[in-house]
Amino acid sequence: MRSYTLIAPAKINLYLEILGDRQDGYHELAMVLQSIDLADRIDLRSNGTDVIRIHCNHPGVPQDKTNLAYRAATLMIDQFPDAFAQYGGVEIEIDKRIPIAAGLAGGSTNAAAVLVGLDLIWNLGLTQSELQEIAAQLGSDVPFCVAGGTAIATGRGEKLSPLPDLDHLYLILAKYRSLEVSTAWAYSTYRKQFGNTYACNTESAEARSVKVNSGCLVNAIAHKDNAKIGECLYNDLEKVVLRAYPQVLQLREAFQRTGVLGTMMSGSGPTVFALTESLPQAQQIQTEVENAIANPDLDFWIAQFSPNGIRVAN
Ligand code: ATP
């Protein structure tokens, strides 16, 4: 039986601008995405049967057909029925280390790992762009998760242009364990409150999305200007989530007071991250914020920016 262990990194949004509505019901977005070395481990093993089975050590992750990793395997079976006939189904074991429903693309990166893993197990020899095309059918963040690194993402998040690596930066992530924010709620609330600022057609949305290429953050990344990167972090969804969840605002303010390079909520939250230039600084900031908030419900992680998407574990 063939098997692979894959490392599936989380992502954060360094920039998230909502440009308008799309005809397919999604939002037109301009984002800058960044992989981090906080990652799940995915074991994939051909089981010689005709079923897909999910095992996960986290009770909050579904182990049925609704798991995004399961949906990724089903999609691969649909696309490559001959390989499925030859090799059969798979056992997918997820060692979950990325917090769930946290705005860190945990489900998306698991799906990306299954695509990459089945390509290997089934000897398909797909290119990265072929894998990303399949990935786009599973969710907006999945194509980025395949390639990872630092990238501008436009459209609904699936059109990617790579940026220079930023693997010298560290971050502290913090999340209230009991707090989950629904991505659907965040976007629909944003539409209700800010729909009047949306681009009125596809052309004007595209014109606005091109602007991110010459914007403050992309310039700062090109020059590896850490202070500027911190200043140029941006997320439209903070406008609705911070108002509805005062604890998240309080957390962001606590990070701000420590003098980090910059702090921001990731995606639709509720995880807040803060950037530093070194590991000892990150550890120091974590201690300061832990002391300032002193809430046992608050979890912290320290991570480093990563140039990697899905990769086979050594
Ligand atoms: P995004 O940043 O892409 O919006 P997220 O990080 O906020 O995603 P996920 O961790 O992907 O959110 O989980 C959202 C929900 O998806 C979970 O509550 C869980 O029920 C479901 N889910 C399905 N498959 C997975 C998976 N493989 N890992 C985690 N959650 C999953």
289 and 223 share one domain: yes
Whether 61 lines ligand 1, by a CB cut-off of 6 Å, is yes
Q: How far is the CA of 278 from the centre of ligand 1 (A)?
A: 29
Ligand 1 closest atom vs CA 66: 23
Contact of 293 with 254, CB cutoff 8 Å: yes
38 and 132 share one domain: yes
106 and 184 share one domain: no
> Side-chain half-sphere of 206: how many Cα atoms within 13 Å?
4
74 and 179 share one domain: no
> Side-chain half-sphere of 68: how many Cα atoms within 13 Å?
23
Residues in Cβ contact with 132 at an 8 Å cutoff, skipping those fewer than 6 apart: 143, 146, 147, 158, 160
Closest to 221 in 3D by CA, of 293, 150, 304: 150
Q: What tokens were used for 225?
A: 């200007």
Ligand 1 closest atom vs CA 56: 27
Q: How far is the CA of 83 from the centre of ligand 1 (A)?
A: 28
155 and 62 share one domain: yes
Residue whose Cα lies nearest atom 28 of ligand 1: it is: 107
Closest to 216 in 3D by CA, of 32, 42, 25: 32
Domain housing 187: 170-303
Tell me the CATH number at 212.
3.30.70.890
pTM of the entire structure?
A: 0.95
Q: What confidence tens digit (pLDDT) does each residue in 102-152 have?
A: 889 999 999 999 999 999 999 999 999 999 999 999 999 999 999 999 999
Known catalytic membership, residue 50: no
35 and 159 share one domain: yes
Pocket residue to mutate for ligand 1, from 33, 100, 235, most atoms within 8 A of Cβ: 100
Q: How are beta strands 170-176 and 234-235 bridged, if at all? A: unpaired
**CA–CA gap between residue 306 and residue 301 (Å, rounded):** 15
Whether 286 lines ligand 1, by a CB cut-off of 6 Å, is no
**Cα-Cα-Cα-Cα dihedral of 203, 205, 210, 211, to 10°?**
130
Residue 268 identity: S
150 and 245 share one domain: no
Q: What confidence tens digit (pLDDT) does each residue in 150-206 have?
A: 999 999 999 999 999 998 899 999 999 999 898 899 999 999 999 888 887 777 878
The percent of residues in the chain predicted with pLDDT above 70, rounded, is 100
Tell me the CATH number at 53.
3.30.230.10
Distance of CA 37 to the CA centre of its chain: 12
Q: What confidence tens digit (pLDDT) does each residue in 8-51 have?
A: 999 999 999 999 988 888 899 999 999 999 999 999 999 989 99
**CA–CA gap between residue 245 and residue 265 (Å, rounded):** 12
**CA–CA gap between residue 145 and residue 157 (Å, rounded):** 11
291 and 233 share one domain: yes
**CA–CA gap between residue 95 and residue 80 (Å, rounded):** 27
Catalytically annotated residue among 40, 141, 175, 236 = 141
Residues in Cβ contact with 55 at an 8 Å cutoff, skipping those fewer than 6 apart: 63, 91, 92, 93, 94
Domain count, the chain: 2
Contact of 264 with 172, CB cutoff 8 Å: no
Residue 287 has φ and ψ, to the nearest 5°, of -60, -45
Q: How far is the CA of 67 from the centre of ligand 1 (A)?
A: 8
133 and 199 share one domain: no
The DSSP string of 131-146 is HHHHHHTT-TTHHHHH
Confidence bin at 1 (pLDDT 50/70/90): low
213 and 129 share one domain: no
With H, G, I as helix, E, B as strand and everything else as coil, classify residue 194.
helix
Confidence bin at 208 (pLDDT 50/70/90): confident
Q: What confidence tens digit (pLDDT) does each residue in 241-292 have?
A: 999 999 999 999 999 999 999 999 999 999 999 999 999 999 999 999 999 9
